[in-house]
Structure formats: structure tokens, C-alpha cells
Amino acid sequence: MRTTRQPIGDALTVPGDKSITHRALMLAALAPGTSQVRGPLTSLDARSTARVLRALGAEISALRHGADVTVEGRARFSAPARPLDCGNSGTTARLLLGLLAAHPFEARVTGDRSLRHRPMARIAEPLAQMGATFEPPAERLPLAITGGRLRPTQWTLPVASAQIKSALLLAGMAGDVAVMLNEPAPSRDHTERLLRRFGYIVEAGEGVVHFAPTGRLEPFELDVPGDVSSAAFVAAAGVLGGFEVAVEGVGLNPGRTGWLEVIARMGCPVDVESRGDAGGEPTGTLVVTPTLLRATDIAAAEVPSLIDELPILACLAARAEGTSRFHGLAELRVKESDRLTLLAENLTLVGATARVEGDDLVVEGSDVPLAGIVGTEGDHRIAMAFQVLGLAPGCAITVDDPGCADVSFPGFAATLADLEARR
Ligand code: S3P
């Protein structure tokens, strides 16, 4: 498990932040005039958001790698002629429902097979309380929403979820009504940061988020930082592959950086250099020096701050000294796949020891060679996590659908090849 230290190569960059790209495109679509989103994510999920916003009347330039995006927004959406297909993107579907709740027309919302299995009642129930109607009373997509005049709302989130929180804040924004939310734990606050730019009051603390419709959307320019969740795969590649790696321009929203604390506990502190900010978010360069990994426990309270990094952290735990326990992963069951089950199954399949106990994941680390073909069920983060695990010495892991990384990390195959060459 000890790795040989190699000199640091050129710093890498990762694609634009997925969460911020979705939000920036949505706000720009409703800001009357021309907005510029610089360095956006251009992945399949980002394209899903652009596609549905175009169907609602916004003009959005093509999402192409390396190109900024121009959005011609209109103050209100127009009724879509076709169902709005959100592809694989839960963030697109849920935040969109929040915006549609304030528009007085019927829109049909759907998605791919994975998205049609994901829970929507957590969004539909509070939006119905605000005044939207759903047909059928919505547990899952596809569904039809009819929005209209909304009522102010107070809602207690059943789980710490930035998607639920953001859907309700965006409904408040588009519907010009106050929203008061109680959240069991804080989650990423990209929506709050963006809304404050436009004069909206968003106060957060002590488990409460309070929104007041005091602002107005204006066209804007926004720099999107690199996606910290994508950076986690690159950092883990350095840890497992035994080389130093630096990732520049990474967004460091405090609601997203829990994985940095976890890998520090595992014996591998990540240095943050060149701190700055982009688009109202803190940024920095992450520098990772690989060391011997030791097991850790992840508390349920930490999970919201590393929800998307659990697949790669579980793969790191498989190469750590000792037994790691990840507590309270119920939400992982309703991601792009049932990630909790799929992680345990695939770790076992490649020769590691892992099991699900209730809502916990238990991973026993070892340095035995791991090999096999991982079934991803089209889940981008499962695919990337296991390909990175394959970089560990003696491991030979392939995945059945490497292309699904395009959902969040276009160019992942090229980045992986670059990382492989550094071993
Ligand atoms: C996201 C929130 C998280 C995360 C998802 C993106 C967002 O989902 O897993 O990848 O952009 O708000 P939950 O809010 O369901 O935890």
C-alpha cells in the first residue's frame, strides 16, 4: 500500500462545475437580456439543462468544450411544445420543476430510465403546497406540472438535499414569494450565493434558510470554477497511482469539500494553494502527495458535504490499512443508480471485501490485486471511481460503460490516460 513518490507533473484542470453550470443557465434563461457563462460544464447533464431551457424560450449558444456560453433570457418561460427531457440529470429535473411551478402552463417533464426511477415526491409535495399541481400526483417522472400564482411556504426538508432546497428557492424567486426552509444539515449553497447577487435576501444558519423576494434577475457574466467532484477523481488517481498531482482552479464551496477532510484523516492531506474566487465561490489549486492510506469512519453528518465523492472514497478505502465504515448512506440508493448496493457489489466483484449493513457501507482495505469488469449501470461516478481504482499497483479493472463519464466529466478518458502515464 505504500506508494513511491514521483515528481509532480504539469497541473491539471477539470471541467466546469456541474451544479453551478445548471444554476447559471437557469438564472440566465430568466434574466431578460444577454448573459455570459464562462468556463461552463459542457457535459451531457449540462446539455440537458440547455435543451430544456431552449424548449422554454431561452436562446442558448452551443455547449462546446472550451467555449463560453451566451444566453438570451426572457423574463418568463413560454409553454413548451414537447415534453422536457432532462436526460440523466436529477438536478435539471428538480430545479426545473421549481421554476415551472411559477409558470401558468402545463409542462411535461421526463428523463432517461435512471432518472425515471428517482424520487420526485420530495419536490412535488412542497411545490404542490405552494400552489403547483401535478398529474399524476408525482412520485416519479414522467409527470406533468401546471404552475401558477404561488403562496409563500415553510417546509421541512426530509433529507439534506441541495436539489430540494434549490427547487424551492427557485420557486420562491420565480413566483415572487417568501420561502422558509428547515434543513436537517447544511448542503451546498450555490443557489443561495447566486440569488444574493441579484438582491434577493437569503439568510442561512441554525438549520434554517430564509428567502425573501427582494431582488430581480438581470443579465450577468459568471466564471464557473472547476468541479471539485471531478477533481476528487484526479486527486484519488494520484493517491492510488503513487504520484503527486495538482489540480488548478477548483471550486471549494464548503458544502462540497468534506472529502478533503476524509482523505486527510486517511493519512493524505491535500494542500490548497493559490486561493482565489470565481463566480462568488472560493477556489484554489489542490496539491496531493500520496502516502500510505489508513481506514476511517465517515459519520452520517458528513455525508451531505461529500455525497458525490462516496464512490471514489469507497474505492480509496479498499486500498487503505484497516476497515472503514461509511455511516448513513440511505441517499446513495437514489442517485443515478443504487450506488450503495453497486459499490458493495463491484468492490466484491473485483476482489475487495465490502458489504452493506443497514444504510452503512463497510469496506475492508487490503493490497491484494483487484481485477474484473465492473457493471456501472450507466452511472458516471461508479464508472470513474473504478477506473481510478484500476490505477492502483497490481490492479486490472475495466468498466462496462466508460463513456458514461460524459454525464459530468467530458474528456475523462484523456485525463485518465494522462494520469496513467504519470504512474
Ligand atoms: C446537486 C445536489 C446533490 C448532488 C448532485 C448535485 C446539486 O444531490 O448529489 O450531484 O447540484 O444541487 P442531492 O441534493 O439530492 O443530495
Q: Give helix 228-241 / helix 258-265 axis angle, nearest 10°.
A: 20
3 Cβ inside 6 Å of ligand 1: no
Under 8 Å CB-to-CB from 224, ≥6 apart: which residues?
A: 16, 17, 20, 21, 24, 37, 38, 39, 40, 41, 251, 278, 279
Q: What is the CATH number of domain 18-214?
A: 3.65.10.10
* Phi (first) and psi of residue 156, to 5 degrees: -100, 115
- Domain map of the chain by residue range? 18-214, 228-422
User: Which one is catalytic: 17, 189, 308, 379?
Assistant: 308
| Widest Cα–Cα separation across the chain | 62
Per-residue pLDDT 10s for the chain (423 aa) are 334 444 467 899 999 999 999 999 999 999 999 999 999 999 999 999 999 999 999 999 999 999 999 999 999 999 999 999 999 999 999 999 999 999 999 999 999 999 999 999 999 999 999 999 999 887 999 999 999 999 999 999 999 999 999 999 999 999 999 999 999 999 999 999 999 999 999 999 999 999 999 999 999 999 999 999 999 999 999 999 999 999 999 999 999 999 999 999 999 999 999 999 999 999 999 999 999 999 999 999 999 999 999 999 999 999 999 999 999 999 999 999 999 999 999 999 999 999 999 999 999 999 999 999 999 999 999 999 999 999 999 999 999 999 999 999 999 999 999 999 998
Class of domain 228-422: alpha beta
Query: What is the pTM (predicted TM-score) of this model?
Result: 0.97
CB 169 within 8 A of CB 98: yes
- Pocket probe mutation, ligand 1, options 19, 170, 337, max atoms within 8 Å of Cβ: 19
C-alpha cell at 266: 486517511
26 Cβ inside 6 Å of ligand 1: no
Give catalytic status of residue 308 as yes or no: yes
C-alpha of residue 322 to centroid of ligand 1, in Å: 30
168 Cβ inside 6 Å of ligand 1: no
> Do the domains at 18-214 and 228-422 have one common CATH topology?
yes
